[in-house]
Amino acid sequence: MPRLAQGRLAQLLKTQKIVIILGSRQVGKTTLVQQVFRTRNVYFLNLDIEVDKQRFLAASKITPKAAIKSFGMPEVLVIDEAQGLIETGKIVKGWYDSAISTKIVLLGSSSLNILNQSTESLTGRNVKLFLTPLLFKEIISTQDWYSTAFSWNKIQRQFSEQVRTLLLETLVFGSYPEAVTTAQKPQYLTNLVSDFLLKDILNLGLVKDPGVIKRLLMLLAFQTGSEVSINELANNLNLSRVTVDRYIDLLEQTFVIFRLPAFSTNLRKEIAKNSKIYFWDTGIRNALLGELSVNPLRSDIGKLWENWVVSELAKENIQLELGKTLYFWRSRAGSEVDLIVKDGEKISAFEIKWLSHKKRGSKAFKDKYGVDVKIITSNFPIVSLAEKND
């Protein structure tokens, strides 16, 4: 299916630098590259495959020119699962610095700059593209009732029942490409969570007990939308605060979760240190909890909707490189706003409610910052930071 990231990737390929595409496993990185390069001479290596790994290591022992020749002198060399070898960065740096004509593209399911333990660095030699699970607009664009002739606002109004049905499916099963297309959604998600989700962390031996990090994920799934207490998590897991913080960092680096920091300009009157944690994909969150019911009356629908909206906007922000910063806000008196979006000096504020008849949110935030708090409800789920939906 077409991805919005295709246009951005095409731009990056015009640069002289190494292109790094980052995103969780199964998110569609390889498919994206295959679509963009379908008419070009491309050589693929997958470092999850032992034969390819050995071929890559063998090429690293000869001159850069001979190495590229051993791959058939391709226009583009794609190295998939590039985090699979700690030497990847060092080897690719050597080839790049020798001014080979072949374009190098690295695909990684974890943050290479963190997991690559090589002393060599690709700093200044690369451009990055972050590929997220599908945006809701991308999912809608695959439906047979969709037409580019309609504005998003018109689609929400004219096809409200279809959008509502699709929204519920996406809330529950998430936005991984195969989760959207397969008829066996629960089975796919169960396999994804058990076989792929933590593969990089476990393969690198960064966690002593896999069961502990899975229990941590369960606790985070239960606490979606709430401020996270590292001390409380540490006590529940019988771990040190430092270890829990490290595990959360690893889950961020492998694109399972992300933190939403607190917005504050007055430390005495506003919460500033805490964060909320959300899942990049609600299907992952639901699969961890075993809650895969497509029921708008499910008890956690409010939390689920909040996670979905925040992640939808965070995905758009990172994938389209909008450069906006996302926060939540809470005063010490207890007033709260679910989402603050800062774009330079401009501030926007949103409360996220599955159902609501209110037209404006927190008066406390409006009084302090002079910004109206808008309400995002499930009646109009095509949300965007990049454009208006009319």
What does the pLDDT look like over 168-188, one tens digit per residue? 999 999 999 999 999 999 999
The pLDDT tens digits for 142-168 are 999 999 999 999 999 999 999 999 999
Q: What pLDDT does 357 receive?
A: 72
| pLDDT at position 269 over 80 | no
Kindly state the DSSP code that residue 206 receives in the 8-state scheme: -
Domain ranges of the chain: 5-130, 137-376
Look at residue 273 and tell me whether its pLDDT is greater than 80: no
Say if residue 267's pLDDT is above 70: no
Tell me how far apart the alpha carbons of residues 283 and 281 are, in angstroms, rounded to a whole number: 5
Residues 276, 267: Cα–Cα separation, whole Å? 18
* pLDDT higher than threshold 60 for residue 386: yes
Report the CATH number of the 137-376 domain.
1.10.10.10
- Residue type at position 107: L
Are the beta carbons of 197 and 280 closer than 8 angstroms?
no
Q: Measuring CA to CA, how many Å separate 281 from each of 179, 182, 311, 388? A: 11, 16, 7, 24
Report the alpha-carbon distance of residue 302 to residue 318 in Å, rounded: 24
What pTM was computed for the model?
A: 0.91
Q: Which residues contact 243 (CB under 8 A, 6 or more apart)?
A: 234
| Structure-token match 């009646």, residue found | 379
Residue 203 has pLDDT above 70, yes or no: yes
pLDDT score at 122:
81
User: Could you give the CA distance from residue 361 to residue 336 in angstroms, rounded to a whole number?
Assistant: 9
Look-up: residue for tokens 């927190």?
362
Grade residue 360 by pLDDT with cuts at 50, 70 and 90. Answer: confident
Q: What's the pLDDT at 117?
A: 45
Q: What is the DSSP string of 197-255?
A: TTHHHHHTT--S-HHHHHHHHHHHHHTTTSB--HHHHHHHHT--HHHHHHHHHHHHHTT
**Given this model, what pLDDT does residue 92 score?**
93
CA distance 146 to 388: 18
Average model confidence (pLDDT) across the chain: 90
**What CATH code is assigned to 5-130?**
3.40.50.300
